Structure 1
Amino acid sequence: MTEMTHPALPVLEEAIRQATGSDFRPSLCAAAGGGCISETFTIGDGRQRYFVKLGTAADASLFSAEAEGLGAIAASGSFRTPAVIAQGSDAQHAFLVLEHLELRALASAAEGAAFAEHLVQLHRTLGEHFGWRHDNFIGRSPQRNGEGDNWSAFFVDRRLRPQFEMAKAKGFGGELQRQGERLLARVPALFLDYRPQPSLLHGDLWHGNAAVTAAGEPTVFDPAVHYGDREADLAMSELFGGFPSAFYAAYRSAWPLNEDYEQRKLLYSLYHILNHLNLFGRSYLREALRLSTRLNEELSLRRD
């Protein structure tokens, strides 16, 4: 990594000193990869190293939600998560300082199976209602929450509808919106014989947010936590490259999925594709339209 200096270092230094009660004085500041939403780097003093996320002052609520999500997952006793060291903001910057972990991607069948066991444990952490006590974020997009007892209504009103509305505001109208209007009315048909429990979800579980530590501990980060259908995490895990096949086999062995999962998987995938459309632009439009159209076609066959 390339050493660097940064104008926010004095603020970070003071925050870490106060949070840890130490005399931390950084001698290393090095850029880190993986920061498509915020600036990321590590800082250290030769004894301790920390992973830092830095954004504008407007990002304070985003970092607060991330810290809360990491805490919720850690409290479940399921995954290893980086500990939150400090968070805060000044007139220019918002920041989140995390424990620095040496991480690597899941590689072996054994690591995939172990990750599945920890995910089952996370999903067996149940809430009283679907949702979360307040809104948070999916990537940089706002994620509406609140709490409710009807999962299909929650997913329509708090997940899909806001994404379709954002897409329309960004100029993605036409056939996507026509398919979206049809789909929003039909979603309850996917839940006539399926009643999910309100499981604690990571919420943004693609392979880039999963790893193992140097000691082999399954680890997750960058969550968008809420209580919802565990199938939603499984569906997200299959997007953008997926996990080792042993992960899926081990999860299904520990907690089998409902026979209609493959169809609902399309619904849950659509949420994330729409979000990518809204965050990153037109390259995701074709897939968003394909998923919306396919779901409508399959739900039309159900009615017939």
Structure 2
Amino acid sequence: MSSAAVQLELAAMSDDPIREWILTEGKATKITRISPIGGGCINYASRYDTDAGSFFVKSNRNIGPSMFEGEALGLGAMYETSTIRVPRPFKVGPLPTGGSFIIMEFIEFGGSRGSQSALGRKLAEMHKAGKSSKGFGFDVDNTIGSTPQINTWTSNWIEFYAEHRLGYQLTLALKQFGDSEIHEKGERLIKNTQQLFEGAVLEPCLLHGDLWSGNISSDKNGDPVILDPACYYGHNEADFGMSWCAGFGGSFYTSYFEVMPKQPGFEKRRDLYMLYHYLNHYNLFGYGYRSSAMSIIDNYLRMLKA
């Protein structure tokens, strides 16, 4: 490469931190192709092909690095369990024109979402391996969709879920929509959930946090892959909260419970964990999700005679 070409390359790298990382710490000497990848509604995604392999890059022109830092910490925590496959995170940083980026391992997906049985078993293995001595929460706050997710460490799971999950979403609905009805009824439910957990073992397990069909895939060998997490340490059953749009079948639960046995009251708590995500969808996307959230709240109030 000529001296002039080297200078141009160095100048291009200084203006592009993604390119700079790939051509230094990523151990590539050239980038052969950059291809856009669809599927996201919040971030822009690309595949960078190089002579050292491929990298997956997400960027956002409006949001600073904190969102991707939370994602990278979650991916790293799941990766370190050596259980279910996740993209390994490499680098998070700011863009010079504003916004941020994350560089991670590129995984070649297979033609389907893979085996439900394998997914259930691997997820349970992650829940079993990923434990925390700090209690329930995570080292950083992150996001669920684009909604802030508060992960302040708390010693009691029922209190954590009441304040930082249901309570936060109910307050957001009150602020955004002035929805005093769902806020009042939801708060009444929160105060009466203790009996739903009788006999359950509440250990802080590493959760993916946003496990719906769009965040579940398989690699070219057919092994399950999960991505785009909103990780924290919580009761393992909370990872089924998006089951209404995750497509979990009987074989998924059978395999899961072979590794992590079903706890007393599981069926009674299912909708309580779905409620968090219905409330979040209400806050993100509007009234189309309000009736589902309200139906769950009303059913629990009747069941608990609250």
Confirm or deny a common fold (TM above 0.5).
yes
1:233 and 2:232 equivalent? no
Counterpart code for 2:85 = R
Q: Distance in 1 between matches of 2:223 and 2:246?
A: 21
1:285 and 2:257 equivalent? no
Q: Distance in 2 between matches of 1:10 and 1:48?
A: 19
Match runs of 1:30-179 below 5 Å? 30-45=35-50, 48-90=53-95, 91-104=97-110, 107=113, 111-125=115-129, 126-128=131-133, 129-179=135-185
Summarize the Cα distance change of 1:105–1:199 in structure 2 as closer, same or farther, 3 Å threshold.
Answer: farther
In the alignment, which residue of structure 1 is the partner of 2:269?
264
Bigger radius of gyration, 1 or 2?
A: 2
Q: Distance in 1 between matches of 2:120 and 2:82?
A: 14
Residues 36-58 of structure 1: CA distance to partner in whole angstroms, max 9, x if unpaired? 22111222246632221110252
Give how far 1:275 is off: 1.0
Give how far 1:62 is off: 0.6
* 3-state SS in 2 of match to 1:43: strand
Give how far 1:124 is off: 0.8
Summarize the Cα distance change of 1:139–1:85 in structure 2 as closer, same or farther, 3 Å threshold.
Answer: same
Q: How many residues align?
A: 290
Match runs of 1:169-248 below 5 Å? 169-236=175-242, 238-248=243-253
Residues 46-83 of structure 1: CA distance to partner in whole angstroms, max 9, x if unpaired? 66322211102523101010011000001111111112
Q: Distance in 1 between matches of 2:55 and 2:232?
A: 27
Unaligned runs of 5+ in 2: 1-13
Give how far 1:172 is off: 4.7
Give how far 1:86 is off: 2.3
Summarize the Cα distance change of 1:50–1:19 in structure 2 as closer, same or farther, 3 Å threshold.
Answer: same
Cα RMSD (Å) = 2.1
Summarize the Cα distance change of 1:46–1:22 in structure 2 as closer, same or farther, 3 Å threshold.
Answer: closer
Q: Distance in 2 between matches of 1:19 and 1:283?
A: 46
Q: Does 226-235 or 242-251 show the bigger shift?
A: 242-251
Summarize the Cα distance change of 1:141–1:239 in structure 2 as closer, same or farther, 3 Å threshold.
Answer: same
Counterpart code for 2:162 = V
* 3-state SS in 1 of match to 2:25: helix
Residues 258-292 of structure 1: CA distance to partner in whole angstroms, max 9, x if unpaired? 23112211111000111111122221111111111
* 3-state SS in 2 of match to 1:31: strand
Q: Distance in 1 between matches of 2:265 and 2:278?
A: 21
After superposing on structure 2, the runs of 4+ consecutive aligned residues of structure 1 that deviate more than 6 Å are none
In the alignment, which residue of structure 1 is the partner of 2:303?
298
Residues 90-120 of structure 1: CA distance to partner in whole angstroms, max 9, x if unpaired? 3423011121111146556xx2212222111
Q: Distance in 2 between matches of 1:32 and 1:45?
A: 16
Q: Distance in 2 between matches of 1:195 and 1:270?
A: 21
Report % sequence identity. 32
Give how far 1:254 is off: 2.9
Q: Distance in 2 between matches of 1:206 and 1:275?
A: 14
TM-score, scaled relative to structure 2: 0.88
Q: Distance in 2 between matches of 1:75 and 1:260?
A: 31
TM-score, scaled relative to structure 1: 0.88
Unaligned runs of 5+ in 1: 1-7
Counterpart code for 2:78 = I
Q: Distance in 1 between matches of 2:198 and 2:236?
A: 17
Give how far 1:159 is off: 0.8
Is contact 1:106-1:243 (8 Å) kept? no
Is contact 2:209-2:232 (8 Å) kept? yes
Counterpart code for 2:138 = W
Q: Distance in 2 between matches of 1:83 and 1:218?
A: 15
Counterpart code for 1:190 = L
